[in-house]
Structure formats: C-alpha cells, structure tokens
Amino acid sequence: MRLLRRVFLPLVPPAIAVAVSIGLLALGLALAKYPALSLLREWFVAAVGDRFNIEVAIKNSCPLLLTGLAAGVAFRAGVLNIGAEGQSILGAIAAAAVATRLLPGLHPSGAAISTALAAAVVAGALFAGIAAGLELLRGVPVVLSTILLNFVALQLLGVLLEGPLKTHLTQAVQSDPMPGAFWLPLIGGSLVVHAGVLIAAAAAVLAWGMQSRTTLGFELLVTGLNPAAARYAGIPTASRQGLVLLFSGGFAGLSGAIQTLGVGGHVLTPTPESYGYTGIAVALLGRLHPVGIAAAALFFALLDQGAATLETSATPLPHETADILKGLITLALLTSASLLANRRVIASQTAMEGTTKAGSAAEGRAV
Amino acid sequence: MLEMRHIFKSFGRLRVLEDVTLAFAPGRVHGLLGENGAGKSTLMNILFGLMAADAGEIVVDGRAVRIGSPRAAQALGIGMVHQHFKLVPTLSTAENLALAMRERPGAVGLRAEAWLERLGWKLPLQVAAGKLSVGQQQRAEILKALLTTDRTAQGKSGRTLILDEPTAVLTPQEVGELFAAVRSLKAGGDSGGAAVIFITHKLAEVESVCDEVAILRRGRVVHAGAREGISVGGIAAKMIGEAAAAGPVEAAVRGRAKGPVKLALRGVRAGMLRGVSLEVRAGEILGIAGVDGNGQSDLLAALVGDLRLRAGKVEIGGRDCTRMGIRERLKEMAVIPDDRHRLAAALPLSVTENLLLKDYRRRPFSRAGVVLPGAWRRAAREAVRAFDVRTEGVSIPLARLSGGNQQKVVLARELGLAGKAVVVAANPTRGLDIAATAFVLRQLRAARDRAGGGAAIVLIHADLDELLGIADRIAVLYNGTLTAAPAKTKEAIAPLMLGMGG
C-alpha cells in the first residue's frame, strides 16, 4: 500500500496531463479535418516501432535529460533556473574550445573526452554562478538573470564562431570539426547509441543520490519547500541555493558538451537546439525526480522523432505538432498539479479534524 | 441603526464567535476591544461581507439584510479601513479611489477634495500611493471608505465606518489628527452623523475617542455599554478575564537554587526593539507578556539570530554571540517559533523529516554528509512515542496531523532529542485545544525542571493567564520596550500590556 502510494500516486498528474493533451490535440486535428485517430496511431508506430527512430530519440534524450536535471535540481530547492539554455551553450563552447583550439591533440580518447566534459561542466557552472553571485550580492532574482543570460550566451556563441573558434575549412559560420579522439564512442548491441547515454544516466543517478541520500539534498529540499523554516533550522539557505545553481549549471553545461561531441558532424553551429528550454517542461513532467525526468526526456524525444516521420505521411503534418503537444502537456500538468494541490489541502484539513477529535478525546483521559 | 444579532462563526472545530449581538448607533464611536483572537476581526469581516456567518442576522433600520460581498456592504453604507492597506502602490490616490468606485479619476477628484476640506486634511491626490507615508496611505483608505459609501449615506440608514486598529501604524500627532477626523465624522453634517466602529487594544484611545465600549473575549460579548459605565481597570479585567484578574497568582515555591545566567540581552536595539535587556538563568522561565505587534516577533528574531542588531549584545551561556548566525546559536538553543507553519516546520515533509530538521547533520543520523534513514526512523518512532504524537505513522506528511500534534512534533524536536541549555518559545499554545495546551506547558515545565541543570526559558506569550501559571518572572513588552512587572499579578501586568503605567 505504501509502495503503491509512493510510486503510483506521483505518476497520476503526468499521466492525466498526457492523456488530456493527446485528447485535445486529437480534437484540434479533427476540427481541422485531419484523420486524427489514424495520424495518432501512425505517430505512435513511427515513434516506437522503428529502430532508427528509437536510436535517434535515445541520443536526443541525453541532452534533454541533462537540461531536465538542471531544471529539476534547481526547482526542487526553490531556485528558478530558467538559464539551462545559456549554461548548456557555455558547455558546448567549452567542449569545442578544448577540442579544437586548446588541446586538439589530446590522446587517448578517454582523457580527451573527460577533459572536454569537465571543461563543459565548469563553464556551465560558472555561467550559472554569475546569476548566483548577482542574487547573493545584489539581490537580482535568479529567474530574471538566468533568462537574460541565455541571450548573452547565444551572442557569445555567435561572436566566438565568427572569431577565435571559426573554422578555416569552409566559409560557414561554425567551428572546426572535433578531432576524432573527442567523439563520444558508439555503444550498444541491437540499438546503437553513443556513450552520452551512459553519461546522462550517471548524471541522473548522481542527482538522485545527492537529493535523497545526502544532508545537502535534505537541506535543499527543506529550503525549496519552506525557506523560512529552513533558515530557522539553521540551514544557510542563500549559500545552499547558490550552490544548487552551480550544480544546475554543471548539468546544463554537460548537456551542451554531449550534444557537441556526440552528434552527427561534430561541429559547433550558432543555432543551438533549445534543449535548455525544453528541459523545463521535461523536469515538470518528470515531477522533479531524476527517474521521472529520464522517462520524460525519452518521451519527448520519441514524440519529436515520431513527428518527423509524420511530415511524409499520406496526410502530412508539420513536425511542429510535437511542440504543440509538448506545450499542451506542460499546461495540463501545471493545471492538474494546482487542482490536485487544492484537493490535497481540503483532504488534509478533513483528516486533521478527524485526528484532532480522536487525539483530544484520548488526551482528555491522560491529563 | 445597524445591528448584528446572534452571530455564530466557527473555523473547523474552533469557535470564533458565539452568539454575538451588538448594535451600532449613528453619531457614536463604538470601541470594539479584545485580545488577539477574541474575534474582533472576524466579526467585522462578517459585517463587511468578507465572510459569511454560520448563523445570525444583520439588521439595518429594523430590516434584515444579506451582506454577501464588500460591494453589498458599501451599498448599505458600510465602509471598512483594514489594518493592512489595500492600495495599488503604483497608482495615484485619485486612481486608487477611481478603481474602488469604478469611475474615472477625474470624476472622483472633486468629491475627494470636498472630503479632504471637510476633514481638514492635506493629501496629494496625484502622487503614487506607494510614495505616501503610512499616515497618508491610511487617509487615502479612509477616503476610499467614505466615497464608496457616499451615495447610500444620503439615505436614512446613514454611514458605518469600520476602522481596524487604525492607530497601530501612526505617530502620536497623526493619531491626534485621526481622532479629530473621527469626531467630525461622528458629528456629521449634511449627511447625518456616522457610526464609527473603532477596533483597538489601547485603553487610552478608548478613553479619548469612544462613546460606547464593546468587549469580546473568546468570541463572546463580555461587556457592551456606554463608556462612562465602566472604568479603565474594569475594561482591562474584562478583556483579560475576570476570574484570573481577581487575585495574585501563587508563585510556585520550588526548593531548588537557580543556576547561572544562560541567556542575556544587553541594550538590544533591533527592528522595533528599543534597548531591550534581560537575563535568564538555568532552571527558570522568564515570561514576556504583551500584545502582539509590540516587538514580539523582533524579539524572537533577535534571540534566534535572524535580525541584525543596531546596538547591544546577545550572550548565550556567557559567551557573546551577537555576530553568530542562526546555525551556531542553535547548538545551544532550542526555538519554538509561534508561526508554526512558516517557521517551525515544513508541512509537506514527513513527520520523521520534521523531527530531524535540525539534527540531521550529526551522528547517528548522517555520516560524512550521507544520511542514514534507518537511524532517522528509529529516532522518529521513539520521539513520537515519548511525546505521544497521534499519527498514522512517521512517514506521512506533517500536514496530515492536527495542529496540536504538529506542535508536539516541534516540541519533541526542540525539547526531546537534545536537551538544549536555552529555550526560546513564542506563543507555543496558540490555536491548540485545552488538552494540547496543557501538554505544551507541561513539557516546558519539564525542560525547566529537568535533572542536571534545567533549561533557561524565554516564553514570549500573549496569553497572560497561561504566563502567570508557568513563568517564574514576567516582563512586559510594549512598543519595543521591556519592563519588568512589579508583581506577578494581573493588576500589575495588564496596564503595562496596554501601555499604561510603568
């Protein structure tokens, strides 16, 4: 019963949100005179019935899982880091800088990759650290500074790709290709994916362990739920929130690096894929729990991949349909969460009255 | 004539108003008195349409009316000035008034000017409300209440103006000007005199401005009549309870020597506190009486380390710890803050987690930063047993427990797990039923009397009856100043609480 409550109950709001959103999308498609049901079926089959699509989705879910973790660890501690996008760009820049300019000859592959990843983590964390510092020293709300720093990161990427990181091989605005030693190796048997999967999974395990098994995780949890009580319990909330922002930035930085070192042409381009923003939705759908975030990341990546196939179906749908569905899910999730919160308040009040009655009757005898 | 007849109101199991019947006549200032939680605000919120009564009726000029919203109240000529202002800070006064009237600012300006002239007030109508002083904001609020009831006040029922503790935020000069305005409204003019309902704690104000006095105690009317009919001492006794006011409370004679000074404040200036000094010895309870809002929350914050001192020192165990943060002070100090839901616990967390909210860092609860859940659960089960917490289990959220049991969890954490040398508690029985209250007081006594050096306890408490029953010494905090009570009797303490004598 307890297991059921702990594992099953948290799944209810996301499940409802997804079901309602698919329903709404189907309704919208039907109103637009699309064959909604057959399109949904086609979408589903394309997403999970095609080996190539699954492989790509798993690859794409890696950066999404990491930005999801970035948002998740921060949100859980009450820190609204909306800057995973910028932090992940900084991670990508750091990885590309190490691979193409600073240490291009680094060997063997293990050393090369871990150096690039470490640089990315540090870059992402430091970039988030700007927001942490602004909050700590000047009281600038993190939710504002992080979102604004996203644009700074994007511009910085553009400047670097026009300047010190620009390739001499083509006229295109992009970096040199990463040297082979920096490519994430391919792994797997029946499904071929890159080693980023292992890194992302390790990050999720690390985040879970930190949150649920360390005193720091407990401090962050209390801070997120009730900062005033945390302060009165002696938890230095400001510095803990600053610290979690660094962690969060580190995860996001890792995400950018994995994308740069693990995908296709292995070059850095000035148009990132917005995994930072999608990570927020992933974190919400995953209910800020690392396992949930991993599942949500894979789900979103599968949606995207399936939608790409729909463009070539008999009644073609633009692949942006997947973005619409993601948006609907996020909205539905926020709504159901607040509805449920209200119900829970009412339920706990009723429960409270019951226990008071029982409690005071029993105490009456004891006094 | 406005009447409230047989009004009842409960929040859950807590009875807030019981059979309250009061009449408010035009041309009179009605003082509504009572301690915190006596039900004054609830009664007025019902009159202003912000809450519905469980039973009872409101009668205007002999006709029963239904007041379902503030707008309905205004239509009946009832206006209210809340303790906490409800102005939009970025809008000018004229715009705020227009917002309340649902009219254009230009249309409202003239009428507002007319009122200002009549009351002899100056108020810049075009300045953003957020830039006004507190006294000016209050004037804007009063204007709002007057304008929204203007149309109906021309009718026969007249105007009723509710002022909820209006002087709490004012300087003495502003208080004088407010009183002048109240008298002018009462006298009326073209539109007839208004009934003014004046909520206050301060007896001196009752004397200078009120014509009628109604006193609530624990949701019941314990006195209503003309002000001449009752003495100031009588009002204090009625507010605080006659039975307890009857005689001196026997100080418990205990045959044990008090220990060394464990906690001291020396000339502390911080927030509202204006040079507060105190000493508490091991094995004694120093009770801090007083009405909330006289520096109580600042005193708690200064003791805990959550408020920067402008001057003065805090000493714990003889050590100067003025510059220490909360975490360091908590090594020696247990804290039971009065705002349980905000400061003492995290309701969504489990009973276990709340019990370990402060001790999670030490062994056996964690090692090298890694928590050991087994030890948490064992300690939690033990604490739940020792403090008789009624709960389905230690892993359910604290929110699912009753208020009394939540407070037991806090007590178990603060008094049970580690016996700290110093205990600071603020209103630890607020909102609890009789049994739970008795339990809390028993635990505080046990901490004071425990073997091997009792705790030095500071008990900041609004309930004077309970303080008299448990404290070894009592001091009164009024308007940021702490005064030792000359005797442990109600007669000696009550006037100090209300800013008289001392």
pLDDT digit string, tens, across residues A8-25: 777 888 888 899 999 999
Per-residue pLDDT at A85 exceeds 50: yes
Question: Which residues, given as ranges, of chain B have pLDDT below 70?
Answer: 13, 36-37, 151-157, 189-191, 241-257, 417-418, 500-502
Which percentage of chain A shows pLDDT scores above 90?
Answer: 60
Q: How far is A353 from chain B (nearest CA, A)?
A: 7
Q: Say if A353 is an interface residue toward chain B (CB within 8 Å).
A: yes
- Pick among B14, B326, B372 to test the A interface (most A CBs inside 10 A): B326
Mean pLDDT of A130-147: 94
List CB contacts (< 8 A) between A225 and chain B: 346, 348-349
pLDDT recorded at residue B132:
85
Q: For chain A, how are helix, strand and coil distributed in percent, rounded to 5?
A: 75, 0, 20
User: For chain A, where are the E strands, in sequence order?
Assistant: 186-187, 193-194
- Report the range of poorest mean pLDDT among A121-135, A220-234, A241-255, B456-470: B456-470
- Residues B437 and B435: their CA atoms lie apart, in Å, by 5
Residue A271 pLDDT class (50, 70, 90 cuts): confident
Tell me the pLDDT tens digit for each residue of A323-342. 999 999 989 888 876 666 65
Residues 6+ apart with CB under 8 A from A33: none
8 A C-beta contact, residue B82 and residue B164: yes
Cβ contact (<8 Å) for A231 and B306? yes
Nearest to B402 among A218, A356, A367 (CB): A356
Q: Nearest CB to A360: which of B345, B349, B433?
A: B433
State the smallest CA–CA distance between residue A298 and chain B in angstroms: 29
Residues of B in contact with A352 (CB under 8 A): 12, 400-403
- Residue A3: its pLDDT value, please? 66
- Tell me how far apart the alpha carbons of residues B473 and A97 are, in angstroms, rounded to a whole number: 71
Question: Contacts of residue A217 in chain B, CB cutoff 8 Å?
Answer: 371
Smallest Cα–Cα separation from B61: which of B41, B78, B46? B78
Beta bridge partner(s), residue B478: B481
How much is the mean pLDDT over chain A? 87
Rounded alpha-carbon distances, angstroms, from residue B158 to A186, B185, B210: 85, 11, 19
Is the pLDDT at A355 greater than 50? The verdict is no
User: What confidence score (pLDDT) does residue A189 get?
Assistant: 74
Phi, psi of B162 (to 5 degrees): -100, 125
- The partner residues of A285 in beta bridges, in order of sequence, read none
From chain B, the residues in CB contact with A288 under 8 A are none
Q: Please count the other Cβ atoms lying within 10 Å of the Cβ belonging to residue A16.
A: 17
ipTM of the predicted structure? 0.83
What's the pLDDT at A127?
A: 98
Report the pLDDT value the prediction gives residue B158, as an integer from 0 to 100. 79
Report the residue from A230, A233, A363 with minimal CB separation from B439.
A363
Please give the structure tokens belonging to residue B492. 């000696």
For the residues A182-193, what does the mean pLDDT come to?
84
* The predicted structure's pLDDT at residue A34: 87
Chain B interface test: which of A215, A237, A340, A346 (most B C-beta within 10 Å): A215
> Residue A148: how many CB atoms within 10 A of its CB?
15
Q: Which residue of B has its CA nearest to A358?
A: B390
- Give the integer Cα–Cα distance in Å for A5 and B207: 61
Q: Find the residue in A nearest to B325 (Cα).
A: A234
Residue among A2, A222, A360 whose CB faces B357 most closely:
A222
CB contact under 8 A, A359 and B326: no
The reported pLDDT for the residue numbered A333 is 85
Give the Cα separation of B492 and B39 in Å (integer). Answer: 26
A221 touches chain B (CB under 8 A): yes
Chain A contact for B13 (CB, 8 A cutoff): yes
Return the closest-CA partner of residue A311 out of A27, A14, A2, A39.
Answer: A39
Residue B79 CA to residue B60 CA, distance in Å, equals 14
What's the whole-number mean pLDDT along residues A161-184? 89
How many interface pairs between A and B have CB atoms less than 8 angstroms apart? 109
Strands B160-164 and B195-200 turn out to be parallel
Residues B270, B267: Cα–Cα separation, whole Å: 10
Give the nearest partner residue to A228 out of B343, B357, B434, using CB atoms.
B343
Task: Tell whether pTM > 0.80.
Answer: no
For testing contact with chain B, the best of A240, A287, A356, A367 (most B CBs within 10 A): A356
Asked if A366 lies within 8 A of B388 by C-beta distance, the reply is: yes
Interface test with A, best of B343, B434, B443 (most A CBs within 10 A): B343
**A263-290 mean pLDDT:** 88
Q: Which two tokens stand for residue B351?
A: 């009973």
- Calculate what percentage of chain A has a pLDDT beyond 70: 89
pLDDT, one tens digit per residue, over B227-266 is 998 887 788 778 776 544 433 333 333 444 578 899 999 9
Compare B244 and A1 and report the one with higher pLDDT: A1
What's the rounded Cα separation, in Å, for the pair B253 and B267? 31
Q: What pLDDT shows up at residue B246?
A: 37
pLDDT value at position B232?
79
Alpha-carbon distance values, B453 to A220, B259, B450 (Å): 36, 7, 7
Interval A216-233 mean pLDDT = 94
